[in-house]
Amino acid sequence: MTNLDEGYIKFDINWAREAFDFDQKIFEQINSCRKELFDLNLIGAYPNGIGFGNISSRTSNSEFIISGSATGNISDLKLSDYSLVRDFDIVKNKVACIGLTKASSESMSHAIIYQSNPLINTVIHIHHFKMWDKYIDILPTTSRNAKFGTPEIALEIKKLIKSNSGIIIMGGHQEGVIAYGENLIETKKILLTYYNKI
């Protein structure tokens, strides 16, 4: 099931189109995890070509690297397919990023998670209807009135961040699931634990 506005950036973006310093080791780790999720069709693209799913990793207190907008349909991402989010303002619905690709349309959701808990260092957003349908209102779930990529969904997510790791069902974003944790291994484990119970 595809939303017509899926994959489109809804926030005001300040994008500096230039390369940034992306540590090769971090790139390899995050890209390997993303490829595993891509192969499970948790990150990918719908038949109409619209991509879904993204992954991010904190680089400092206020910055994080995230897979770029419109990269869901690419199996193996390159360094140039990632963006560095340098600043954001949830209330004003603004994101500032640098990279050869614009930051994902889900950047606001990732940003609020990092802002809510300094011990969270990785966020993974996937799409899976059966998982979403099974766990909606069972696992922490955002309001059905809060749509993806908006300040409303970000503020809904903030209410649900209770620990350093966990999972959130996006009530107003059909198929949307977010996992977060202190590191990449932990976050992927949380996500796949629930996925493997489907």
Position 77 in a domain: yes
- Cβ atoms of 56 and 65 closer than 8 Å: yes
Q: Are 37 and 53 in contact (CB under 8 A)?
A: yes
For residue 102, being part of any structural domain is answered with: yes
- Under the banding of pLDDT at 50, 70 and 90, the label for residue 9 is low
In a domain, 32, yes or no: yes
In a domain, 7, yes or no: no
pLDDT at 74 over 70: yes
pLDDT of residue 168: 97
The boundaries of the domain holding residue 70 are: 12-195
- Domain presence at residue 2: no
Instruction: Name the percent of the chain lying above pLDDT 90.
Output: 82
pLDDT at 4 over 80: no
The predicted model gives 74-79 an average pLDDT of: 95
Is 27 among the domain residues? Answer: yes
* CATH label of the domain that carries residue 63: 3.40.225.10
* Residue 1 included in any domain: no
What does the H/E/C string look like for the chain? CCCCCCCCCCCEEEEECCCCCCCHHHHHHHHHHHHHHHHCCCCEECCCCCEECEEEEECCCCCEEEEECCCCCCCCCCHHHEEEEEEEECCCCEEEEECCCCECCCHHHHHHHHHHCCCCCEEEEEECHHHHHHHCCCCCECCCCCCCCCHHHHHHHHHHCCCCCEEEECCCCCCEEEEEECCHHHHHHHHHHHHCCC
CB atoms within 10 A of CB 191: 25
For residues 194 and 173, give the distance between their C-alpha atoms in angstroms, rounded to a whole number.
18
Which residue bears the tokens 């419109």?
70
Structure tokens at 130: 């059966």
Instruction: Please count the structural domains in the chain.
Output: 1
Determine how β-strand 94-98 pairs with β-strand 82-89: antiparallel
pLDDT value, residue 148: 79
123 inside domain: yes
Q: Is residue 43 predicted with pLDDT exceeding 60?
A: yes
